[in-house]
A and B are shown apart, each in its own frame.
Chain A
Amino acid sequence: MSAATIFILVWLVGAAFPFVWTVWGSFKIQADFFSYGGWRDALLGPRTLQLTGSSFTLENYRGLWFEEAFWRPAANTLILTGSVTLISLAFGTLGGYALARSTHRYAFWVLIAALIFRAMPGLTLISGYLLPFFQFNLWGHLTTAAIVLVALNQPFTLWLLHSFFLTVPRELDESALVDGCTRFQAFRLAIMPVMWPGVVTTGIFSFLVGYSDFVICAMLLSESNQTMVPTTAAFLGSEQHAGKLMFAVAATVSMIVPLFILIIFFQRRIVDGLTAGAVKG
């Protein structure tokens, strides 16, 4: 075996094994998954067997989804993620198209400004939002969090879509304009139909932003509107949730497994998106 193959194997174990281990452990009780008795407990689940009669238990998932009503944050995440994706794409395609087609110098400066905006950490911006949001009674709503996430993600969306629009030949919109279309009609009828790979790719990244967000949701959403990641975080430390560690494990698995399945289908698009901004320019 060559050095390259060994290196790849080691990396793959490092990249994937933690997830396999956690998925496996989520079907054990806490005394097995977090055991001072060594790794065999988590693997075989002797206490899980003793307590439930089987070495696999769905108890963590039952407790999480029914007792803790995890379906509520799940529904919130779905609504938030859906809105973030749709609004991001609507704003981003319009802007990205204009940036790709404008020959003026200010288009370049808009892109540079977007890059600088991209560097601002979410938390430093949040301290600027909170007071006005409380004052105007905007705090706590899913809509508010969605708009904020869209705005924070706009720089990346713009760059990505801009580079995708550059790959669509200008002749296409020019001939539409000659045929009597307005700019918007040319954009909607001639360009968007051939842009869907770029739109799907950008959509996946917007989806991931909404799905993964921790800090914006934790700071801006009220408890009843909370999404899955901050809810998972709440199972960890606080007194009120003592002994609910396994719910956090089950919640983590409930969130990452659907993601793993999605990635199988969209892998090509994701790779496309990651390279579009960097390699093409």
Chain B
Amino acid sequence: MPHRTFFAFMLPSLSAMLIFIALPILSSAFQSLHIEHPRVLIETETCDPFAGCTTETRVDAEATRKLEEAQPAGKFNGLGTYFNSAHLAVADVAEIWRTAPNVWQALSKITDLPFYRALLFTLAYTFVVTPLSLWLGLLIALAVNMVPQRLRGAITYFTLLPMLVPTFLGALVLFWMIDARGLIGAALIALSGNPDLSLKASRTLTWVVLFVHGAWNSAPFVFIVFYAAIQTVPRDTLESAIIDGASRWQQQRFVVFPHLRPIAIFLTLVLIMDNFRVFESIVAFSATAQASSLSVLVFKDLMNGTTRLYGSAAATSMLTILCIALLMMPSMVRSWQTFKGKA
């Protein structure tokens, strides 16, 4: 296909991606170097014949508006926003490091700072939910492969539901059950014998519930992909393994798993991307007090009452993108090697 034709066909799609994905990243990068203008203050003196003269300071709305119009991005701040206490908090970290009696206390204090708290949860979520959903999906696929053919359609239907339901609503449905007045919540209270056990009170419970929701939500996708891949396992190899006396476990271990390996790498890559943006379930579970993620931080900045903190949101966004790039590097390199190997 000639270059001209190729780019003519790609034009709508490519320009949509450049304008709404590539450009915003650049504009965020620019925005992150600026902060909101301070309010312009003026002092006015009001004199009263009885009370004497008083000066009062008030916001000059007109001047503030003019300043904002002249420089809509705000005042240039360099890397200031990145290092302030809402982000990398360099000063606070140094202070904690200096005063804390030991490394563990220092770490536990550092992970109480807003950015590190969010980073910790996001990473924990990514590294717990990714393997959890891979294994859950794989087990469902292996199990479905053993039940009679005619039941598989119905099983697939019900399995798909947690994934296809809008994430926010799926999380709400679980949240209502896990509520202290809900089915699972009441059962947990009865089992644990602790009448105060609730999502609001327990950080551990909140994290576990969010992880479970994550696996519940993405296992169906893993199942579908693995199940399709299992159907393409070469029959000959499997049969010769059976003839050679391989047990059921050995068949899986030495024939099926190696066949699924490249697909598992692909799935890991996709799951890491999706899990790293964890956000909707945290909002649906009203769990922002117990669990915060990088996306939650951006959301909070942008929803910050009347003045949206664009600079702060942009800095968090850039740090998020940096983290994703670091996380994806190994899987990308491995996919690249497989691709090279095939070519």
Contacts and interface: CB of A to CB of B under 8 A. Distances in A.
Interface of A: 2, 4-5, 7-8, 11-12, 14-16, 18-19, 21-22, 25, 33-36, 38-39, 42, 90-92, 94-95, 97-99, 101-104, 107, 110, 113-114, 116-132, 135, 147-148, 150-152, 154-155, 157-158, 183, 187, 208, 211-215, 219, 229, 232-233, 236-237, 248-249, 252, 255-256, 259-260, 263-264, 267, 270-271, 274-275, 278-279
B308 A124 contact: no
Given A34-B176, A124-B321, A264 B216 contact: no
12 contacts: A2-B146, A8-B155, A18-B177, A19-B165, A117-B17, A118-B273, A121-B324, A127-B301, A128-B23, A131-B72, A183-B5, A252-B172
A1 to B, nearest CB: 11
A219 B302 contact: yes
Contact of B158 (A5, A16, A120, A274): A16
A248 B168 CA distance: 12
Contact of A208 (B19, B28, B164, B276): B164
B158 A21 contact: no
Main secondary structure of the interface of A (DSSP, over half): helix
A38 B187 CA distance: 9
Contacts of A131: 27, 31, 72-73, 310
A267 B156 contact: yes
Contacts of A132: 27
B137 to A, nearest CB: 10
Interface in B1-34: 1, 3, 5-6, 9-14, 16-17, 19-28, 31
A130 B21 contact: no
Contacts of B153: 267
Interface in B277-333: 277, 279-280, 283-284, 286, 294-295, 298-299, 301-302, 308, 310, 313-314, 316-318, 320-321, 324, 328
A161 B311 CA distance: 37
Contact of B225 (A33, A97, A212, A278): A278
Interface stretch (B58-66, B178-186, B200-208): B178-186
Contact of B21 (A90, A107, A125, A215): A125
A6 B51 CA distance: 85
B20 A127 contact: no
A22 B273 contact: no
A270 B216 CA distance: 18
Contact of B20 (A118, A135, A148): A148
B228 interface: yes
- The size bracket of the interface on B is 35 or more
Nearest to A248: B172
A260 B9 CA distance: 36
A153 B53 CA distance: 63
A118 to B, nearest CB: 6
Contact of B3 (A34, A92, A104, A113): A104
Nearest to A219: B302
A119 B273 contact: yes
The 9 A-B residue pairs with the shortest CB-CB distance in the complex, in nearest-first order = A128-B24, A151-B20, A95-B13, A212-B166, A98-B9, A121-B277, A124-B317, A127-B313, A275-B228
Given A120-B25, A121-B320, A128-B25, A91 B174 contact: no
Contacts of A150: 16
Contacts of A249: 176
Contacts of A255: 166, 169
Contacts of B22: 117
B157 interface: yes
B200 to A, nearest CB: 13
A104 B6 contact: yes
A110 B11 CA distance: 12
Given A118-B273, A259-B165, A94 B10 contact: yes
Contacts of A125: 20-21, 24-25, 28, 317
A231 B232 CA distance: 44
B266 interface: yes
Contacts of A130: 302, 308, 310
A205 to B, nearest CB: 10
Nearest to B187: A39
B140 interface: yes
B139 interface: yes
Contacts of A127: 24, 28, 31, 298, 301-302, 310, 313-314, 316-317
A111 B241 CA distance: 38
Given A128-B24, A259-B164, A232 B225 contact: no
Contacts of A260: 161
